[in-house]
């Protein structure tokens, strides 16, 4: 991707980048190249296609660097530095899992458990980027919440996302392991997308290589370990009638629902994601 004279135009840069990404096995090389260029230049993709966009040397250098990272297998969200989740733009990097559309199912299942007219308290366990907590708070202006995570880096990024979204006064973050450091009877709602992938399971390209293993993997042969740790204290922490909504791995939602029932919770629903996979289990405390 030469930067001399006429070579430094968006169309030529994009065409060269698309070739590089195609050789690297990227599924939609042109579309991803346009996303990367929009990120460095601020030029909307519609304007790129009109032929009216311009390229500066600084933009070209930053674009080259991002294309190299993507071609090396780094996930697009990390290269861009942000991702959309439930209508929010969240910053992400290798300290946190990349929020997926599947996890929006947890938000959809949780929102009916937060009456908009009441001041409610939400706990997000393994908060990562803060995506679940911040999505819920953005939809419920009277709610407040606490994100819990073992990773100091994840907590710092989640707090940054809360501030950028104007939710910093209603969202707090604390380092801890699941519900161990949480006071009894303090929550109207608990949500979590805990680790549920066994090390032997196949994942998408770049996931195991780039995303944090602490947030991805369970110990071998123990896919429900994090869930059991949460369920051990869920009834103690939830207020009477409070709800718990957990994300489940493919094929594990029904077994997770049985675990919720065994922990003394009444299962309300098992909700499917847009792909038809049973993805979220919602239960309520007596």
Q: What is the pLDDT of residue 121?
A: 98
Q: Determine the average pLDDT of the residues in 245-259.
A: 96
What pLDDT score was predicted for residue 8? Answer: 65
pLDDT-based confidence at residue 137 (cuts at 50, 70, 90): very high
239, two tokens: 């207020």
Tell me what pLDDT residue 2 has.
Answer: 41
**What pLDDT is attached to residue 50?**
59
Higher confidence at residue 249 or residue 43?
249
Tell me, what's the pLDDT at 1? 45
Residue range 174-197: mean pLDDT, rounded = 95
pLDDT averaged over the chain? 92
Mean pLDDT, range 183-196, rounded to an integer:
96
- Write down the pLDDT at residue 10: 82
Task: Name the range with the highest mean pLDDT among 56-60, 163-167, 218-222.
Answer: 163-167
Sequence spans of domains, the chain? 5-72, 82-284
Residues 215/266, Cβ–Cβ less than 8 Å: no
For residue 206, what pLDDT is reported?
A: 85
82-284 carries CATH number 3.50.50.60 = no
> Among 4-13, 168-177, 207-216, 242-251, where is mean pLDDT lowest?
4-13
DSSP structural state of residue 72: T
Please, are residues 180 and 226 in contact by the beta-carbon 8 Å criterion? no
Q: What is the pLDDT of residue 6?
A: 41
Of residues 72, 73, 90, 80, the one with CA closest to residue 36? 80
Residue 4 — pLDDT band, cuts 50, 70, 90? very low
Q: Is the pLDDT of residue 46 over 80?
A: no
Q: What is the pLDDT of residue 11?
A: 84
Mean pLDDT of 101-108: 97
84-89 long-range contacts (CB < 8 A, ≥24 apart) are: 85/129, 85/131, 85/135, 86/131, 86/135, 86/138, 86/139, 87/135, 87/138, 88/131, 88/134, 88/135, 88/138, 88/165
Polymer length in residues for the chain: 286
Distance (Å, whole) CA 59 – CA 174 = 38
For the record, the structure tokens of 99 come out as 């929020």
Q: Comparing 31-45, 49-63, 265-279, which segment has the lowest mean pLDDT?
A: 49-63
Is a pLDDT exceeding 70 seen at residue 3? no
CB 91, CB 164: distance < 8 Å:
yes
Cβ atoms within 10 Å, residue 286: 10
pLDDT at 190: 98
Return the structure tokens found at 184.
Answer: 């009894």
The model's confidence at residue 7, banded by pLDDT at 50, 70 and 90, is very low
- Section 179-204 average pLDDT: 93
**Non-local CB neighbours of 250 within 8 Å, separated by 6+ positions:** 277, 278
pLDDT of residue 49: 64
pLDDT in tens, 64-78: 999 999 999 999 999
């Amino acid at each position: 991707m030469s930067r001399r004279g006429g070579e430094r135009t968006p169309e030529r840069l994009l065409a060269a980048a698309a070739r590089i990404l195609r050789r690297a096995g990227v599924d939609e090389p042109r579309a991803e190249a346009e996303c990367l260029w929009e990120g460095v230049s601020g030029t909307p993709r519609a304007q790129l296609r009109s032929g009216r966009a311009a390229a500066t040397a600084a933009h070209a250098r930053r674009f080259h660097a991002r294309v190299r990272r993507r071609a090396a297998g780094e996930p697009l969200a990390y290269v861009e530095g942000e991702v959309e989740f439930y209508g929010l733009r969240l910053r992400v990097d290798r300290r946190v899992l990349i929020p997926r559309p599947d996890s929006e199912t947890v938000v959809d299942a949780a929102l009916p458990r937060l009456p908009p007219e009441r001041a409610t308290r939400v706990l997000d366990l393994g908060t990562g980027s803060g995506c679940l907590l911040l999505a819920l708070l953005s939809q419920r202006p009277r709610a407040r919440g606490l994100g819990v995570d073992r990773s100091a880096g994840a907590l710092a990024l989640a707090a940054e996302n809360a501030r950028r979204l104007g939710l910093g006064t209603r969202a707090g973050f604390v380092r801890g392991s699941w519900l161990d450091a949480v006071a009894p009877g303090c929550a109207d709602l608990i949500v979590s997308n805990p680790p549920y992938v066994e090390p032997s399971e196949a994942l998408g390209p770049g996931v195991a290589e780039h995303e944090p293993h602490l947030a991805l993997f369970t110990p071998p042969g123990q896919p429900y370990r994090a869930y059991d740790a949460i369920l051990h204290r869920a009834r103690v922490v939830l207020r009477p009638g409070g709800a718990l909504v957990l994300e489940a791995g493919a094929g594990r939602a029904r077994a997770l629902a049985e675990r919720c029932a065994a922990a003394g919770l009444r299962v309300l629903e098992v909700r499917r994601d847009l792909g038809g996979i049973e993805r979220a289990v919602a239960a309520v405390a007596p």
